[in-house]
Amino acid sequence: MKLKFVYLFFFGMALYLGLNSFVENNPYFIITTKDVEVKVPAGFPKPVYDFKENKVTPEGFVLGRKLFYDPILSADSSVSCAFCHQRIAAFAHIDHTLSHGINGLIGNRNVPPLQNLIWQQNFMWDGAINHLEVQPLAPLTNSQEMGESLKHTLEKLQRNKTYVDDFYAVFKDTAITSENLLKALAQFTSLMISANSKFDKYQRGEEEFTEHELSGLKLFRAHCENCHKEPLFTDNTFRNIGIKPDTALRDSGRIKLTGVVDDYMKFKVPGLRNVAMTYPYMHDGRFRTLQQVLKHYADGVFYTNYDKSIEKNVGLTNQEQSDIITFLKTLTDEQFLHDRRFADPNFR
Partner 1 sequence: MSQVKLVMRFVICIAVLSTAGSFTEPVEKAKLNIRIEHFAGPQRLSLDSVEYKNALGQTFTVSRFRYYLSNVILKNTDGAEFQSPDYFLVDEAEPDSKLITIKGIPVGNYSSISFTIGVDSLHNCSGAQSGALDPVNGMFWTWSTGYIFLKLEGHADASTSPGHIFEYHIGGYAAPNNCIRRVTLNFKKKGIGIANDKTDELPLKADILEIFKPPTNIDFSKLSSVTDFHNATTIANNYEDMFTINADE
Q: Which residues bind partner 1 (CB under 8 A)?
A: 53-54, 128-134, 137-138, 140-142, 150-151, 154, 177-183, 186, 257-260
**Residue (133 or 320) nearer to partner 1, CB:** 133
**Residue (6 or 261) nearer to partner 1, CB:** 261
Minimum distance between the CB of residue 116 and partner 1, rounded to whole angstroms?
Answer: 18
Minimum distance between the CB of residue 85 and partner 1, rounded to whole angstroms?
Answer: 18
Minimum distance between the CB of residue 169 and partner 1, rounded to whole angstroms?
Answer: 18
Cα separations (Å) of 132 from 215, 307, 348?
Answer: 36, 28, 30
**Residue (3 or 261) nearer to partner 1, CB:** 261
**Residue (178 or 292) nearer to partner 1, CB:** 178
Q: Which among 136, 160, 132 has a CA at the least distance from the CA of 148?
A: 136
**Residue (77 or 108) nearer to partner 1, CB:** 108
Minimum distance between the CB of residue 98 and partner 1, rounded to whole angstroms?
Answer: 16
Distance CA 128, CA 138 (A): 9
Minimum distance between the CB of residue 179 and partner 1, rounded to whole angstroms?
Answer: 4
Distance CA 83, CA 104 (A): 12
**Residue (73 or 337) nearer to partner 1, CB:** 73
**Residue (159 or 348) nearer to partner 1, CB:** 159
**Residue (181 or 227) nearer to partner 1, CB:** 181
Q: Which among 305, 302, 343 has a CA at the least distance from the CA of 27?
A: 343
Minimum distance between the CB of residue 181 and partner 1, rounded to whole angstroms?
Answer: 8
Minimum distance between the CB of residue 120 and partner 1, rounded to whole angstroms?
Answer: 13
Minimum distance between the CB of residue 149 and partner 1, rounded to whole angstroms?
Answer: 9
Minimum distance between the CB of residue 69 and partner 1, rounded to whole angstroms?
Answer: 20
**Residue (210 or 237) nearer to partner 1, CB:** 237
